[in-house]
Amino acid sequence: MEYTTQMKNRISRVEGQVKAISRMMEENKDCKDLVVQMSAARNALDRAIGLVVSSNLEACIRDQIDKGEDTEPLIQEAVNLLVKSR
């Protein structure tokens, strides 16, 4: 699978958020502020996971259709990946 610039940018943003969290911990910032930032990073990573899975699923389904094969196993695998990521 080819990972798009959009996907890479999302991961870079998450990386920046995680670095900010580490910096906040070093600076002994308030727990509430830290948890807010941790939650934001987790949500951003969840969205990146969704983008990667959906893009891959779309490409795989198109390939399966072109081959005349069943797409149900691919859809189930994608759903399992999303459930497992939570």
Predicted structure pTM score: 0.77
Domain boundaries, the chain: 5-85
Instruction: Give one DSSP letter per residue of 25-80, joined into a string.
Output: HHTT--HHHHHHHHHHHHHHHHHHHHHHHHHHHHHHHHHHHHHT---HHHHHHHHH
Mean pLDDT of the chain: 90
State pLDDT tens for residues 25-67.
999 999 999 999 999 999 999 999 889 888 888 888 888 888 9
- Per CATH, the number for 5-85 is 1.20.58.1000
